[in-house]
Structure 1
Amino acid sequence: MAVFPLILSWAAQALMFLLFLLLFAFLGYCLYIHHIHTKYDHIPGPPRDSFLFGHSPTFLKVMKGDGNLHDKFLEWSERYGPVCRINSLHYVFIAVTCPEATKEILMSPKYPKDKFLYKRLFSLFGQRFLGNGLVTSQDHEQWYKQRRIMDPAFSSLYLRGLMGTFNERAEKLMIKLSDFAETKTEANMLHLVNCVTMDVIAKVAFGVDLDLLNKSSPFPKAIETCLKGMVFYVRDIFFQVNPKNWPFINEVKEACHLLRTTGAKWINERKTAMRNGDDVPKDILTQIIKSAGKEESMTQEDEELMLDNFVTFFIAGQETTANQLAFCVMELARHPDILEKVKKEVDEVIGMKQDISYDDLGELTYLSQVLKETLRIYPTAPGTSRNVLEDIVIAGIHIPGGVTCMFSSYVAGRLEKFFKDPLTFDPDRFHPDAPKPYYSYYPFALGPRSCLGQNFAQMEAKVVMAKLLQRFDFTLLPGQTFDILDTGTLRPKSGVVCSVRHRSHSK
């Protein structure tokens, strides 16, 4: 019987030793955080909410209030200047709005993508998400190999050949809007343009007809769930600890799984068709597979990377363009003078033509200005970040190496020092003769890691907007907010609900 007290004594001693180790580790971690504070606290920034968690409680408060975290970054940048320190645990982030530093860091390949953020995007709650695709890859050689494979699918010559699909899918939206106009039914423009942009990316990238304006599909909900999950996974490190969040976490994992299994199916079907010598569409997927086949070696990881890029293109090629279109409709509806001016240009360039040509797009200069101004105030992919591994001086402030620099095009686009009356929607800022913003306007990022699909996105946006302006008048229904919903990308919170009418010359 004496053995049991002995075992209990050993267990108690082991527990005490374990508690001592944990306490020792925690004290060591606190000392390390104190060291980090000592190293970086000369950099301007808001007071920390707590010693341990830094500014994280502020982030969580904004998120729980359904707010836009970029507005908080804007507030801090206005108060603390072009270099603003932000703390979270032992991590230090520097919000940078200095144009010279923006140019230096984003234009150079020597500053890798931020490990903290982009490693978090590799998977969501353990389910592989964007992996090591074009957006998230941190290794320059791995990224460059992928970019070389992708480039032919986004050449100007290839993009010209997509005009037929852009026209065809936009035409389906016009038919749908015509139904809304005739039945005097309210139209949720964000939902409608989401359907169109997803139809376009599915067709031109992967040769698949979804026809989302007329058919249901699990993909829109899956993408929305993934993006929502991404925000919590990146910004709230304790999110998955709370059992209340587990059902939603399972939804996110299932949505990721759906996108990746769909991608694998479409890629394998296309590869099989190509091996069999079948006719295949000359779309982005075919281009990627052909280009990948020219590489000296394709490993299993390379195959997985193709799937990473499928998910990347499927989400990025649809979500951001749809949000831009919805914000554009919202602003035009709020500014009748600008709306009339852009309608006049569309009438002069397009007239009554149903198919818009590639050359037409080049003549729609004012529409280009409208779309650029939309992205200045509402950059749908609001920022990027880079690791700065060595010491650097920004705006006269010494920044010790080992930090992450954050570049928010949302913040830069709304700063008075770069854009006079920044909240005023003024497309003339982007008139061809107006001075170009100096490294303070970068809705598609800058440098070698800038968005590969930016020309694709703006061509698509122009076609959709030109057809919409050619055929319809639209007014916002009362009672909507003009708030922004931050889901990793930025979208109009109210959905831009409009009443739609045929224009008089198209009746």
Structure 2
Amino acid sequence: MALPPGPAHLLRLLPYFALPSATLYAFLRISEIFFAVTLPLWFIAPATLLAKPGLFFLTRYYRKLRDRWDATVNEAILPPYVQESVLSAISKLADSIRTGYPADVMQEWADKYGNVTQFDILTKSSVITFEPEHVKASRVFANFQAILATKFESFEKGSIFKSQMNSLLGTGVFNVDGLFYVNTAIPVDIDLSFCYLGEMWKFHRSITRPFFTRERISDFEIYERNCDRSLGEARIRLEEGYSIDFQDLVSRFTLDSATEFLFGTTVGSLSAGIPYPPLSGAENPASFYDHPSNVFVKAFTEGQVRTAIRYSLGSDWPLGDDFWKDRVSPMRKVMDEFTEPLMREALLFREKRLFEGEGKKEGEEAALLEHLVNHTQDPSILRDELINLLVAGRDTTMCLLTFSFYMLAENPHIEKRLRDEIFEKVGQTGNPTYDQMREMKYMRAFLNEVLRLYPPVPLNMRASKEPVILPNSDRTKKPFYIPAGTQCFYPVINIHRRTDLWGPDALTFDPDRFLDVRLHKYLTPNPYIFCPFNAGPRICLGQQFAYHEATFYLVRLLQRFTAFRLDAGANEAPPDEWKACAGLKGTEKVRVMSHLTMYIKGGLWVTMKERSANDLDSELMQ
């Protein structure tokens, strides 16, 4: 029987803690014999007990001296340290994840110490960078390394990140770097040599990429079916006189669409119905809470929340909430109970086809799972890959659509302008085509502006595999030296909101910035100030899938409904202390938070009304 995470972690650390004390004790006893002296117990006992703490501080001091020397040799400097105790930093990070605004602690530190800072989480050093030049190579310092692009090979997810995420993501595409044993029987022409040479993530992308072609992601039948069900549920609840949780509504739409795309069958979350607003007096039946899709979604969400909490303790996360029990594994087990039968069925179906000589050619598969089993039959790889893609397929577009509605409710003039473009390009009814989507320039600008201010993944990280030099935005100062093994956090949400990168109106929601002169002034010369889907070799494969899915849903929503409003009585209000904060945090109408992705705590409760002939007449008169 395996030990719980906490005791197992302590057992691994035992030699690390015991060896210095044992070594010192042996040295003292040998010294007594060699020098014919007797050392008092009051000296031996404290010295032995303090050996490890003393060595820890000496090692830490030595490491800082070594790093400072290496920086000097490379004509660079170390990022300034956050002047807070380790415990204070950990506490702030934990509170930020549990109850705070996304990346607000990192913004606080940047305001105090600059756009590049470093801090310690117990025994490990971490760097926070707000500089887009560190996400990409600097144009000026052409020989310097960068996190995602030209010196991509200098960075990896790192062992700490993979350890934190393993219970939820396993060895899926979002949680692997390199060396990993692959037990596969692959009867196709994929070169698996890179799986053993340190590029496991390429294997995952190689077996997934062919299914994200234009033809695949432009087949909108899946969107149409689930969108109609979703808006139908909304109409019924609104006719009953209740507001709806739009975040819950679109999470069901994206989950059903993602599972249908991945598995060829839907989890059926929309068939369970949607919740009533809190304090409304109306309650869903017990069957609602027991519905398999709701059990799946609850585990899905709780698994992400508990995984995110591990961030604050770094490599020592087993000493936190997971000390006596891995609290994420039970959530993953619930998720696997849904995917397992589908995976087994796909494997059996493949064997049957091969036995009967009916193998399908590349690109003929109906669902991504059917495509994956043609490339690997390793259950572990399949299981992990499906969960990873589910996280991306559901949460990214759910976040985009949720905050799209939030911005429409706050900006009625934008709602009208979007609807005008939809009526011009698509019409008052009917589904948009791929070509029509490409013609809707304002729609794309609107989605980009939502992604800028509310990126689905507000915080990302990499670990340096080797010493790295990063440019200093102040060209009069030396560049930054990043030692090997350093965790480098880059809060996308903060980079997207910097006024020096986006202009003085950076905190104003304005889609026109992606269409007018500001596009060429700010974004075109510095494209890495906008990276909601990551960048470089590991850029999100489903980027266009998310754009298409969100565009399709918004077109159908704006064709059928109008007068979007927030239900202040049902939404969870932000804490009072947020009102005194600078930036968007001080003006939010809802409680914005994040786990692996951004979301609104308590849901986004809204009202809207179905469009009628009178609405059309009034629009034509304007």
Bigger mean CA offset, 87-96 vs 165-174: 87-96
| Residue of structure 1 equivalent to 2:271 | 214
> Of the candidates 115, 119, 124, which is equivalent to residue 86 of structure 1?
119
> Of the candidates 495, 499, 522, which is equivalent to residue 416 of structure 1?
499
| Residue of structure 2 equivalent to 1:201 | 258
The residue matched to 1:314 in structure 2 has which SS? helix
Asked if 2 retains the 8 angstrom alpha-carbon contact of 1:134 and 1:147, the reply is yes
Structure 1 residue 69: Cα displacement? 4.7
| Residue of structure 2 equivalent to 1:43 | 78
Asked if 2 retains the 8 angstrom alpha-carbon contact of 1:95 and 1:405, the reply is yes
> Of the candidates 554, 568, 576, which is equivalent to residue 478 of structure 1?
568
| Residue of structure 2 equivalent to 1:55 | 89
Instruction: Label 1:256 to 1:276 Cα distance change in 2 as closer, same or farther (>3 A).
Output: same
Structure 1 residue 170: Cα displacement? 0.8
| 1:498 pairs with 2:574 | no
Distance 2:401 2:228 in 1: 15
Bigger mean CA offset, 233-242 vs 496-505: 233-242
> Of the candidates 85, 107, 121, which is equivalent to residue 149 of structure 2?
107
Instruction: Label 1:167 to 1:69 Cα distance change in 2 as closer, same or farther (>3 A).
Output: closer
1:329-478 pair list within 5 angstroms: 329-388=405-464, 389-395=466-472, 396-402=478-484, 403-420=486-503, 421-431=505-515, 434-435=519-520, 436=523, 438=526, 439-473=528-562, 474-478=564-568
Structure 1 residue 276: Cα displacement? 1.8
Instruction: Label 1:456 to 1:117 Cα distance change in 2 as closer, same or farther (>3 A).
Output: farther
Output one character per residue of 1:290-321: Cα deviation in whole Å (capped at 9) or x when no partner: 2x15xxxx6x5xx4222111110112210121
> Of the candidates 141, 152, 155, which is equivalent to residue 210 of structure 2?
152
Aligned amino acid, residue 511 of structure 2: P
Asked if 1 retains the 8 angstrom alpha-carbon contact of 2:157 and 2:175, the reply is no
Structure 1 residue 443: Cα displacement? 0.6
The residue matched to 2:417 in structure 1 has which SS? helix
The residue matched to 2:156 in structure 1 has which SS? coil
Instruction: Label 1:177 to 1:261 Cα distance change in 2 as closer, same or farther (>3 A).
Output: closer
Structure 1 residue 484: Cα displacement? 1.1
Instruction: Label 1:121 to 1:363 Cα distance change in 2 as closer, same or farther (>3 A).
Output: farther
| 1:135 pairs with 2:192 | no
Output one character per residue of 1:448-492: Cα deviation in whole Å (capped at 9) or x when no partner: 011111111111111111111111012111254333112221112
Instruction: Label 1:194 to 1:400 Cα distance change in 2 as closer, same or farther (>3 A).
Output: closer
Distance 1:251 1:404 in 2: 24
> Of the candidates 5, 18, 23, which is equivalent to residue 50 of structure 2?
23
Asked if 2 retains the 8 angstrom alpha-carbon contact of 1:225 and 1:251, the reply is no
Structure 1 residue 342: Cα displacement? 0.8
Structure 1 residue 116: Cα displacement? 4.5
Output one character per residue of 1:65-104: Cα deviation in whole Å (capped at 9) or x when no partner: x102501212322443332222212222222222322212
Distance 1:88 1:54 in 2: 10
Asked if 2 retains the 8 angstrom alpha-carbon contact of 1:383 and 1:445, the reply is no
| Residue of structure 2 equivalent to 1:274 | 350
The residue matched to 2:590 in structure 1 has which SS? coil
Aligned amino acid, residue 500 of structure 2: K
Distance 1:384 1:208 in 2: 32
CA RMSD of aligned residues (A): 2.8
| Residue of structure 2 equivalent to 1:98 | 131
The residue matched to 2:490 in structure 1 has which SS? strand
- Of all paired residues, the percent bearing the same amino acid is 23
Asked if 2 retains the 8 angstrom alpha-carbon contact of 1:391 and 1:400, the reply is yes
The residue matched to 1:76 in structure 2 has which SS? helix
The residue matched to 1:417 in structure 2 has which SS? helix
Asked if 2 retains the 8 angstrom alpha-carbon contact of 1:92 and 1:404, the reply is yes
- Gapped regions of structure 1 (runs ≥ 5): 1-12
Bigger mean CA offset, 28-37 vs 494-503: 28-37
Aligned amino acid, residue 198 of structure 1: L
The residue matched to 1:260 in structure 2 has which SS? helix
Instruction: Label 1:21 to 1:224 Cα distance change in 2 as closer, same or farther (>3 A).
Output: farther
Distance 2:157 2:373 in 1: 29
Asked if 2 retains the 8 angstrom alpha-carbon contact of 1:391 and 1:399, the reply is yes
> Of the candidates 163, 166, 188, which is equivalent to residue 120 of structure 1?
163
> Of the candidates 294, 303, 307, which is equivalent to residue 226 of structure 1?
303
| 1:34 pairs with 2:61 | yes
Instruction: Label 1:251 to 1:78 Cα distance change in 2 as closer, same or farther (>3 A).
Output: closer
Aligned amino acid, residue 508 of structure 2: T
Asked if 2 retains the 8 angstrom alpha-carbon contact of 1:97 and 1:440, the reply is no
Aligned amino acid, residue 125 of structure 2: V
Asked if 1 retains the 8 angstrom alpha-carbon contact of 2:79 and 2:480, the reply is no
Aligned amino acid, residue 176 of structure 2: S
> Of the candidates 311, 316, 328, which is equivalent to residue 252 of structure 1?
328
Distance 1:112 1:179 in 2: 50
Count of matched residue pairs: 478
Aligned amino acid, residue 48 of structure 1: Q
| 1:173 pairs with 2:227 | no
Output one character per residue of 1:12-71: Cα deviation in whole Å (capped at 9) or x when no partner: x99998986553122212222223444567634454332x5472232134345x102501
Instruction: Label 1:353 to 1:22 Cα distance change in 2 as closer, same or farther (>3 A).
Output: farther
Structure 1 residue 242: Cα displacement? 6.1
Bigger mean CA offset, 200-209 vs 99-108: 99-108
Instruction: Label 1:40 to 1:492 Cα distance change in 2 as closer, same or farther (>3 A).
Output: farther
Aligned amino acid, residue 149 of structure 2: M
Distance 1:225 1:312 in 2: 15
Asked if 2 retains the 8 angstrom alpha-carbon contact of 1:173 and 1:196, the reply is yes
Distance 1:405 1:276 in 2: 48
